[in-house]
């Protein structure tokens, strides 16, 4: 029962992190563009990231298909690793804190999902 609560707690926080990030990208477009340029990323990725962040949350929370949910977890994993890497390589280590927190929440959510969900992920024992 505790693992089920832990799953929902970490999943809700991860979802809030991603939805807050997408909202920030939408409402603070100029700041986001400047940050992307400072980190060396092309700004045409911003609309794609907005859509992908929202869709990843929908896939994980709704769990319409287990394979799609697991794919969303994988996408989030790589996104968070790249975010950490970008901030560290730009010399802005403190900027990577939200991504590190997100990575911890992602691991917690992914590894406890089979305790809380009826449809089990085949990638966990």
Which pLDDT belongs to residue 50? 97
Count of beta carbons in the 10 Å neighbourhood of residue 11: 22
The domain limits of the chain are 2-113
The mean pLDDT values, 10 residues at a time, for the chain of 125 residues are 91 98 96 90 95 97 94 97 90 88 97 91 82
Angle subtended by helix axes 45-62 and 66-89, to nearest 10: 140
Query: Per 3-state DSSP, what percentage of the chain is helix, strand, and coil (rounded to 5)?
Result: 80, 0, 20
- Angstrom distance (rounded) from CA 52 to CA 76: 9
Positive or negative: CA dihedral 102, 104, 105, 110: positive
């Amino acid at each position: 029962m505790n693992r089920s609560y832990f799953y929902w707690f970490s999943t809700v926080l991860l979802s809030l992190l991603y939805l807050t990030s997408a909202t920030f990208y939408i409402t603070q477009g100029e700041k986001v563009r400047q940050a992307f340029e400072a980190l060396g990323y092309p700004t045409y990725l911003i609309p794609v990231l907005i859509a992908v962040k929202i869709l990843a949350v929908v896939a994980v929370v709704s769990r319409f298909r287990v394979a799609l949910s697991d794919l969303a977890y994988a996408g989030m994993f790589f996104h968070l690793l790249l975010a950490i890497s970008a901030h560290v390589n730009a010399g802005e280590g403190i900027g990577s804190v939200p991504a590190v927190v997100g990575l911890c929440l992602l691991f917690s959510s992914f590894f406890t999902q089979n305790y809380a969900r009826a449809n089990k992920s085949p990638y966990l024992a």
